[in-house]
């Protein structure tokens, strides 16, 4: 365990004891259902119970880059910039103002008198500390490759000339994305008196230190079982006071139990993730509301360029043959069959890296692979492998994850296995791993090819390019293309909309030729609520942040 700074060690120890007491008397009550908390009825008018199958990796913002962890951070940490309900555009949150003061300087002025819930002053020093530690922890690998520091690729340094002024010095001028990045998983502001500067801080220490300044604080924390929140009366940010004072979030191992509890009124809201069959069934249930939001989620296969067949560190290393294997897989995958057979239309085929609807999106893979119209082509795949001298069938180890990406993943990847093997060109070794282990293994070259999904940090094409295809990227899959890297950096600083959209298209085409990843599906946001719950439609917006404070009951 990381030792807390000595000035707050005694207070933290007392807080840990208090937290332990609270954990024995969570606000929900009721009998244990063996699958994430208890099975008591939905909350009172001043409390709401939310259910999810998402998992928390850690609530330290430097140590996780997944939707389950970020869902917690959005409730309890402040941001310099945030998205108001109903908008994808960012505005100052705990900042009073934020603007470019030169081509490479972005200056933020904090609101005066900000405090964390523990009483510590929230000043520019905490902001500088936050971003300095993101970069330091990411560079050292102390985040096990799972942190969001790759988003800060254009940040050179941070100054705090006085208590309310922060100056971000950027490497490249005219960064069109940086204000959005301040609202992303790299942006939660942390308390320098609770968090360690060069290592991840345990969740228990964060909760005990009451190191929160968002709309809510955490009052009890049982990771991936039950987390309880109370409205933070001192929050001074963009989102305003929460509409509901107390929120409990229950974590489920099985989608079927999540569906049953929302259907029976044992919880008020089910969000991420119910199966397509369950959602279809619930649409016909008069006891619940199914609320749809704009799409942005994508699902895809990642190749590890070192360990995949013919990868750089394998005995038979051959870059041309490895590319042919990736191309053949792209020729054989039938996205339409997966979307309709497995997901009942809740996902649609995705033929490029930026989802349809965002500026610059194209369908680069549709032209390059398969039959040219989105369907598979086994003859083309066979020719590609033969031309590269690849012996068939190719043995491919393919990993997927059912507890983070939903039980539909098992059907999805069973179908992909069948699509590949029925051609006679592949023999697929299909395996699954639980998310906590999966998130560690994927960054340490354990999986030659594996499933990932993406829920965007902000509503811009950049967020589907920068994290994946820069040379130092979130995937850690050893993909390096300097031309792609340079184009990504260029689009982020291109102010002319048409020129930027052209660059975004060129990037997708270049990556489609390399096939670092193979995009499969694009999906919408869906929440299921009791009929007495309001506000779900307000928070299912293009910000892709589910804000508990928007929900109310009665």
CA distances for 373 relative to 87, 336, 351, 359, 367, angstroms: 34, 11, 10, 22, 7
Kindly report which listed range (82-86, 94-98, 113-117, 124-128) carries the lowest average pLDDT score: 82-86
pLDDT at 479 exceeding the cut of 70? yes
Q: How many CA atoms lie within 13 A of 244 on its CB side?
A: 27
pLDDT tens profile 160-209: 999 999 999 999 999 989 999 999 999 999 999 999 999 999 999 999 99
Q: What is the mean pLDDT of residues 75-91?
A: 92
- pLDDT surpassing 70 at residue 34: no
Ramachandran bin of 535, using left for φ above 0, alpha for ψ from -120 to 50, beta for the remaining angles:
left
For residue 293, the number of C-alpha atoms closer than 13 Å in the C-beta half-sphere is 25
Torsion angle, CA of 540/544/546/547, rounded to 10 degrees? -100
Side-chain half-sphere exposure of 151, counting CA atoms within 13 A: 27
What pairs with residue 231 in β-bridges?
Answer: 216
Q: Which residue has the tokens 């906590």?
A: 436
Do the Cβ atoms of 23 and 34 come closer than 8 Å?
Answer: no
120 — phi, psi (to 5°)?
-70, 140
Please tell me the predicted confidence (pLDDT) of residue 508: 98
Q: Which two tokens stand for residue 14?
A: 């007392």
CATH superfamily of 295-525: Dipeptide-binding Protein; Domain 3 (3.10.105.10)
The pLDDT assigned to 455 comes to: 85
Would you place residue 459 in the very low, low, confident or very high pLDDT band (cuts 50, 70, 90)?
confident
Phi then psi for residue 19, to 5 deg, are -60, -40
Average pLDDT for residues 147-155, to the nearest whole number? 94
- What is the rounded average pLDDT of the residues 500-525? 96
Six-digit token string for 76 = 């309890």
∠ CA 372-373-378, nearest 5°, is: 60
The pTM assigned to this predicted structure is 0.79
User: How do residues 254-277 score in pLDDT, each as one tens digit?
Assistant: 999 999 999 999 999 999 989 888
Give the model's pLDDT for residue 44.
Answer: 66
For 546, which DSSP code? -
**For the segment 366-391, what is each residue's pLDDT rounded down to a tens digit?**
999 999 999 999 999 999 999 999 99
Q: Tell me, what's the pLDDT at 1? A: 30
Q: How confident is the model at residue 431 (pLDDT cuts 50, 70, 90)?
A: very high
Residue 345's pLDDT is: 82
Burial class (CB in 10 A: 0-12, 13-18, 19+), 429: exposed
Q: How far is CA 519 from CA 262, 441, 449, in A?
A: 32, 21, 13
What is the tens place of the pLDDT at every residue in 203-236? 999 999 999 999 999 999 999 999 999 999 999 9
Token duo for residue 360: 């610059």
Residue 221 burial (C-beta neighbours within 10 Å; 0-12, 13-18, 19+): buried
Distances (CA, A) of 157 to 135, 141, 150, 466, 489: 10, 19, 15, 19, 18
- Spell out the SS3 assignment of 320-364: HHHHHHHHHHHHHCCHHHHHHHHCCCCEEECCCCCCCCCCCCCCH
CATH class of 6-268+532-553: alpha beta
Q: Where are the domains positioned within the chain?
A: 6-268+532-553, 295-525
- Bridge partners (DSSP) listed for residue 97: 109
Comparing CA positions, the residue from 402, 119, 473, 464 lying closest to residue 255 is 402
Which of 462, 360, 406 lies closest to 252 in space, CA to CA?
A: 406
Q: Phi first, then psi: what are they for 78, rounded to 5°?
A: -85, 160
Between CA 73 and CA 163 the distance in angstroms is 24
Half-sphere exposure of 450 toward its Cβ, with a 13 Å CA cutoff? Answer: 28
Task: Give the range among 31-35, 81-85, 406-410, 505-509 with minimum mean pLDDT.
Answer: 31-35
Which residues neighbour 229 within 8 Å (Cβ) at sequence distance 6 or greater? 75, 76, 216, 217, 218, 219, 246, 247, 248, 249, 548
**383: helix, coil or strand?**
helix
Nearest-Å Rg of the Cα atoms of the chain is 23
Fold: same for 6-268+532-553 and 295-525: no
User: Among 402, 374, 343, which Cα is nearest to 524's?
Assistant: 343
Tokens encoding 281: 């069934």
Q: Which of 254, 297, 300 is nearest to 274 (CA)?
A: 254
- Residue 541 has a pLDDT of 86
Task: Check pLDDT > 50 for residue 305.
Answer: yes
């Amino acid at each position: 365990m990381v030792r807390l700074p000595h000035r707050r060690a005694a207070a933290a120890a007392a807080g840990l004891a208090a937290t332990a007491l609270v954990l024995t008397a969570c606000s929900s009550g009721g009998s244990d259902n063996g699958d994430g908390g208890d099975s008591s009825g939905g909350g009172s008018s001043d409390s709401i119970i939310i259910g999810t199958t998402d998992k928390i990796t850690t609530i330290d913002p430097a140590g996780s880059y997944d939707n389950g962890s970020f869902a917690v951070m959005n409730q309890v940490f402040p941001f310099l910039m945030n998205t108001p309900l109903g908008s994808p555009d960012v505005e100052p949150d705990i900042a009073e103002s934020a603007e470019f003061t030169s081509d490479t300087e972005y200056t933020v002025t904090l609101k005066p008198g900000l405090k964390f819930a523990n009483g510590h002053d929230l000043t520019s020093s905490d902001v500088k500390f936050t971003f300095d530690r993101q970069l330091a922890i990411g560079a050292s690998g102390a985040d096990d490759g799972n942190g969001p520091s790759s988003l800060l690729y254009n940040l050179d340094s941070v100054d705090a000339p006085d208590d309310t002024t922060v100056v971000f010095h950027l490497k490249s001028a005219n960064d069109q994305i940086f204000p959005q990045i301040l609202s992303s998983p790299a942006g939660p502001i942390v308390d320098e008196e609770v968090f360690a500067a060069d290592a991840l801080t345990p969740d228990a220490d964060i909760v005990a230190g009451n190191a929160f300044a968002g709309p809510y604080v955490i009052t009890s924390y049982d990771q991936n079982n039950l987390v309880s929140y109370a409205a933070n009366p001192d929050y001074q940010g963009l989102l305003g006071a929460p509409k509901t004072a107390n929120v409990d979030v229950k974590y489920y191992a099985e989608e079927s139990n999540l569906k049953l509890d929302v259907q029976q009124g044992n919880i008020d809201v089910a969000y991420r993730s119910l199966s397509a069959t369950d959602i279809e069934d619930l649409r016909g249930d008069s006891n619940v509301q199914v609320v749809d939001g704009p799409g942005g989620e994508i699902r895809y296969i990642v190749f590890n360029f070192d360990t995949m067949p013919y990868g750089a560190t394998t005995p038979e290393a051959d870059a041309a043959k490895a590319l042919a294997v990736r191309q053949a897989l792209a020729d054989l995958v039938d996205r339409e069959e997966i979307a309709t057979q497995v997901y009942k239309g809740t996902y649609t085929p995705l033929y490029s890296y930026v989802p349809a609807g965002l500026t610059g999106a194209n369908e680069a893979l549709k032209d390059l692979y398969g039959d040219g119209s989105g369907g598979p082509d086994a003859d083309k795949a066979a020719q590609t492998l033969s031309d590269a001298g690849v012996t068939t069938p190719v043995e491919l180890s393919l990993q997927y994850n059912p507890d983070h990406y939903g039980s539909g993943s098992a059907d999805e990847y069973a179908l992909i296995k069948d699509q590949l093997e029925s051609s006679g060109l592949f023999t697929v070794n299909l395996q699954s791993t639980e998310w906590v282990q999966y998130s560690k293994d994927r960054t340490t070259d354990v999986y030659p090819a594996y499933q990932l999904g993406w829920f965007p940090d902000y509503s811009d094409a950049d967020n589907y390019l920068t994290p994946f295809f820069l040379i130092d990227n979130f995937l850690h899959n050893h993909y390096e293309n300097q031309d792609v890297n340079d184009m990504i950096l260029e689009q982020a600083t291109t102010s002319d909309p048409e020129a930027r959209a052209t660059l975004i298209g060129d990037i997708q085409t270049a990556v489609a030729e390399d096939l670092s990843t193979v995009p499969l599906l694009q999906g919408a946001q869906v929440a299921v609520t009791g009929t007495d719950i309001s506000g779900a439609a307000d928070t299912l917006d293009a910000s892709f942040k589910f804000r508990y404070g928007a929900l109310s009951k009665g």
